Amino acid sequence: MPCPIARSLEHVGEWWSILILRDALLGLTRFDQFQKSLGIAPNMLARRLNALVAGGLLERRRYSERPPRDEYVPTARALDFRPILIALLAWGNKHFTPEGPSVLLVNTRTGATVDPVLVDSATGRSITGPEYALAPGPAAGERTQRRLASAREAWRSGTPRAARPRRKPSVGRRGGTNATK
Amino acid sequence: MPCPIARSLEHVGEWWSILILRDALLGLTRFDQFQKSLGIAPNMLARRLNALVAGGLLERRRYSERPPRDEYVPTARALDFRPILIALLAWGNKHFTPEGPSVLLVNTRTGATVDPVLVDSATGRSITGPEYALAPGPAAGERTQRRLASAREAWRSGTPRAARPRRKPSVGRRGGTNATK
């Protein structure tokens, strides 16, 4: 798949991979630490760690020869994943923590809670603004170009479309149908 | 799990869910459109769509009574997921598209390619700067507080730690060991 989102998900498109990365970026390095933190089966953890090493996200380093033991240290590629983790944190805090947030991003100089927002580095404006859209890059094939051409308005006009008034179901006509396609 | 990242992943911690959300935010609404775009098995697609509806990310709307047909429209919660998708896009473009990008975020007013960066909305500074750290929120339990206390330096000092010089493997002593724990 040429889509860069799909390419990213080839490396982190699995719940455990992202939580391992989270823990690695929070300072855990050893197999037993990850296992204790995540409550994950050892064979699954070994598989995920191997995939993250193969994908260039973690570096395996021998820290003991007898017995042979490795630690796992985030690479620059993993550090570049931090904005995605923080964006997931902010989204989770906004939508899925009815009891209030248990983890916050803070500015340690001021103590203020941080509201993280994804902006255009050139203008400082939020990338969800109407002037931003997805467009084909130099490596785009025909299919990508077609899809993005038809998607542009949907992406930009997301908010009004989703806010469209909900139609009332026509009572008495829906029973017994459960088709989803 | 109290971690807001894990909470988010309960809803999108699966490759297909994120790609369905991507397509929904790009304007696809119908079962057959998702299936054609993703090449996903119908039963898997039905399951993922149901989970996204149950999680409040898509709204199911009947668009035809005979035959009964539903469409799937992103909710405000799904629109809030756009920064995560764009962050995944930027990470994928930087690290996993050796042939060059096929999808870019652009400013449609200027035509410029956008470099999206996650910043503190109060200061405009990148959240990967050294003054930013994770801290326990009001709902944090003891375990979360302990973990974040020990994680703070690791998170903030990510870059130097990862850049630590690589030790040379001591040749001749590693053969035959493949322990990963």
**Cβ contact, residue pair B74, A162, below 8 Å:** yes
B2 class by beta-carbon count within 10 Å (0-12 exposed, 13-18 middle, 19+ buried): middle
Q: What is the ipTM of this complex?
A: 0.86
The confidence score (pLDDT) of residue A152 equals 79
Tens of pLDDT, residue by residue over A31-59, are 999 999 999 999 999 999 999 999 999 99
pTM: 0.86
Contact between residue B59 and residue B73 where contact means Cβ atoms under 8 Å apart: yes
- CB contacts of B153 in chain A (<8 Å) are 27
User: In the predicted model, what is the mean pLDDT of chain B?
Assistant: 87
Q: Which of A42, A83, A93 shows the shortest C-beta gap to B4?
A: A93
The position carrying tokens 């985030």 is A74
Task: Give me B42's structure tokens.
Answer: 């119908």
User: What domains are there in chain B, each with its CATH number?
Assistant: 4-79 (1.10.10.10), 83-112 (no CATH), 117-159 (no CATH)
| Confidence at residue A158, expressed as pLDDT on a 0 to 100 scale | 64
CA dist B115 and B110 (Å) reads: 14
| Nearest by Cα to B88 from A110, A167, A127, A50 | A127
Q: What is the pLDDT of residues B12-43, one digit of tens each?
A: 988 899 999 999 999 999 999 999 999 999 99
C-alpha B11/C-alpha B51 separation (Å) is: 8
Q: Which residues of B touch A115 (CB under 8 A)?
A: 120-122
Q: Would you state the pLDDT for residue B157?
A: 67
Would you place residue B155 in the very low, low, confident or very high pLDDT band (cuts 50, 70, 90)?
confident
* Residue A2 pLDDT > 90: no
Instruction: Give contacts of A 81-100 with B, CB under 8 A.
Output: 81-97, 99-100
Please give the pLDDT value at position B176: 38
Over its C-alpha atoms, chain B yields an Rg (Å, rounded) of: 22
**CB A100, CB B144: distance < 8 Å:** no
Are A67 and B179 in contact by the 8 Å Cβ rule? The answer is yes
With bands split at pLDDT 50, 70 and 90, how would you rate the model's confidence at A160?
very low
Chain B within 8 Å of A142 (Cβ-Cβ)?
A: no
Shortest distance, CA B128 to any CA of chain A (angstroms): 7
